[in-house]
Amino acid sequence: MQTHYRGAGDSPKRAGRTLIRTQRLGKIFGEAEHGLRVLGDVSLSVESGEMLAVMGPSGSGKSTLLSILGCLDSPSEGDYWLAGKSVAGLNAERLAALRNRYIGFVFQSFNLLPRLTALQNVELPLLYAGVPSVKRRARAAGLLEDMDLSDRAGHFPRQLSGGQQQRVAIARALVNHPALILADEPTGALESHSGEVILSLFRRLNRAGVTLLLVTHDPMVAEHAGRIVRLRDGRVVADSENSSAQSNADAGIGRTEEGVP
């Protein structure tokens, strides 16, 4: 990882500070009395600099939890603090402001705009933030260089492999210097080698101080995280340190050399 990425410049990025804290978080779709409960009593803390995986079967509440942590949705119950700020109950405008300041997203389906080049896709959050064109182009180009994609900056998504598209998406997630990256099944649409490239990249970002929360159903993906939280029926059923994560990193599992796709 080169030097174009830097973390959020304010105090939430400092290692050891609690970045995410939830207390008895719940989500009910529909009327409270007769609605569908998808999350219940979720209490969770994530420190700055952690790499955490959230696992669980389909329907366990993983994606709903990610949406709430990412300020895309609001809880029905409980409290949520992001970087010390109370989130539960904020209106859509305030939630959007928190997202833009603190959070970058990486999705399974990449979510790149097909009519924009790789460079333009990475620039897009800066355009919305009102960053001048020269600055946003320089920052986007630097991140594409970090992703070994300088020679693909002018390519459209259809001209890129799946692994390349996901690296463009990661560059876009980093361009606003977020304190937190939320990744929803980030290797789910990739073949195994490209998936390993993305996981290796995530480990390098984490070593550089980026806080990462990965939602996955794949145990092989979760093994790269330093901590694994397991959900079942909308509740946390296990929360444990993953001692094998450092061993994998030390052994170079997933490390890529040449021929990055």
What pLDDT, in 10s, does the model give residues 102-124? 999 998 889 999 999 999 999 99
Q: What CA–CA distance (Å, rounded) separates 82 from 237?
A: 23
CB-facing half-sphere around the CA of 108: CA atoms within 13 A: 11
Q: What CA–CA distance (Å, rounded) separates 250 from 261?
A: 23
User: Residues 68, 42: contact at Cβ < 8 Å?
Assistant: no
| Residue recorded with tokens 């955490």 | 52
User: Residues 40, 235: contact at Cβ < 8 Å?
Assistant: yes
Q: What CA–CA distance (Å, rounded) separates 163 from 92?
A: 33
Residue 119, SS3 per DSSP: helix
pLDDT band at 31 (very low <50, low <70, confident <90, very high): confident
User: Residues 175, 144: contact at Cβ < 8 Å?
Assistant: no
For the cut 90, the answer to whether the pLDDT of residue 11 exceeds it is no
pLDDT band at 6 (very low <50, low <70, confident <90, very high): low
What pLDDT, in 10s, does the model give residues 70-90? 999 989 999 999 999 999 888
pLDDT band at 246 (very low <50, low <70, confident <90, very high): low
Q: What CA–CA distance (Å, rounded) separates 45 from 243?
A: 19
Q: Where are the chain's structural domains?
A: 11-251
Residues 177-195 as b or e (16 or more Cβ within 10 Å = b): bbbbbbbbbbbebbeeebb
User: Residues 177, 135: contact at Cβ < 8 Å?
Assistant: no
For the cut 70, the answer to whether the pLDDT of residue 1 exceeds it is no
Q: What CATH topology corresponds to 11-251?
A: Rossmann fold (3.40.50)
CB-facing half-sphere around the CA of 122: CA atoms within 13 A: 34
Using the Cα atoms of residue 165, residue 167, residue 170 and residue 176 in order, give the sign of their dihedral: negative
**Residue type for 182, please?**
L
